[in-house]
Structure 1
Amino acid sequence: MTCISPTPGPSIQIPWGAGGDGGGGVAVAGAIERCTAHALPDLVAKHHEHAARPEQCCSAVVQEVAAPAAVVWSVLRRFDEPQAYKHFVKSCRVVVGNGGVGTLRELRLVSGIPAATSTERLEILDDEHHVLSFRVIGGEHRLTNYRSVTTLHPSEPPTGTGQQGTVVVETYVVDVPPGNTKEDTRVFLDTIVKCNLHSLARIAETHCRHGDATAIAT
């Protein structure tokens, strides 16, 4: 599979709008918050809507990847191997399921972050539209009611290349831990997500250059 040249650089935080509540979102009908600063295809935009409560915060992070969506997806979709690109994950053990929706995984996290373990449930795995969502349901951490949604979108190729890249959009919503502000929580989590997506980009681009993307999809 042909790939464009990698474009290094950090991921870009996409603001949720000009709301002044500090929640990182724009409230619309039915207390739904949605990332409005980034155009999303209708097929996946619905997945980035969150019924955020006043005690929650939400955000969105975008990462450009110089590899086709199929290559990026082959890394992202492996719910049983998040440590492939999430460097804060020490190990992963699947406790229920076989990688499909409803699968539960238990993560052991690296030292140096304010968490030790996390139990997570796969909520969405859409191979056709490249949508993955999981929810944190337990573990030793402070991320109560954390839910993440990640979608992939083909991006326009650089002029003259004729080759396609990918834009990765990850949004999340979570309860603000006691003693923290929405801004504290968002800054911490955005940093983690940005690191993860930047790593995902590097890995996908490397597999693409070496022509072995299919090896990690099996």
Structure 2
Amino acid sequence: MTTTDSVITAVERQRKAAGRYLIFIDGQYAFTVHEDVLVKHRLMKGEQVDAEKLQLVLEDEEKQRAWSDALKHVGRRPRSEKEVRQYLKRRQVLPSLVDLIVVKLKEQRYLDDADFAAQWTEQRIYSQKKGRALIKQELQHKGVAPATIQDTLNQVPAEEEEQLAYGLGQKKWKQTSGALMDKKRKTAAYLLRRGYSGQIVGNVIRRLQETFREESDGDDDEELWDLSDA
């Protein structure tokens, strides 16, 4: 690529890549740019370019590509700010440019950790039947602020969470063979692993025992189900 008195000798639309153009300088392929960069810098056939202009073009193309990648990333599913930053870092985007992109995404409402936490929680609670403890861990891993996590989880009605846990507990209880104590232990352990609190698990086990009272063999240890600190 020549540094002075260079001329754009051809501009060709890139096949199978909408909005991207191949730029030829002095008869040789030089680089590919997005349509917005093409228009901004008037990259037309016969236009003279120097090293300084080419540098500005390449910088803007890097920004445009990083922005486009970020939009695609948040378009696949809701993302936390931490997830977007990690993604752009893997794409080797400069830290200063990452900061600019994150600010722009927030301004255009593509990125909002409060909205992300709310959507994540709703999907985990109602679709995947997970409890608050597990969801809290997941949101922490996603980089959501503790206060935002707490505000989000506070919006989940405790009675709804317990009812969902009860539905899961019923299935597990019916699938579990053995004595009453085996059913209680295995069902409780299953619900705790799914992130339900000790209090909810204790309530569910008592309800299940009452529901399936006919299966009781008299081996009843109420202290076992005081799981409020679990």
TM-score by length of 2: 0.20
If each structure's strand is expressed as a fraction of its own residues, which one has the higher value? Answer: 1
If each structure's helix is expressed as a fraction of its own residues, which one has the higher value? Answer: 2
Instruction: Pick 1 or 2: higher relative contact order, CA cutoff 8 A, min separation 6.
Output: 1
The structure number with the bigger radius of gyration is: 2
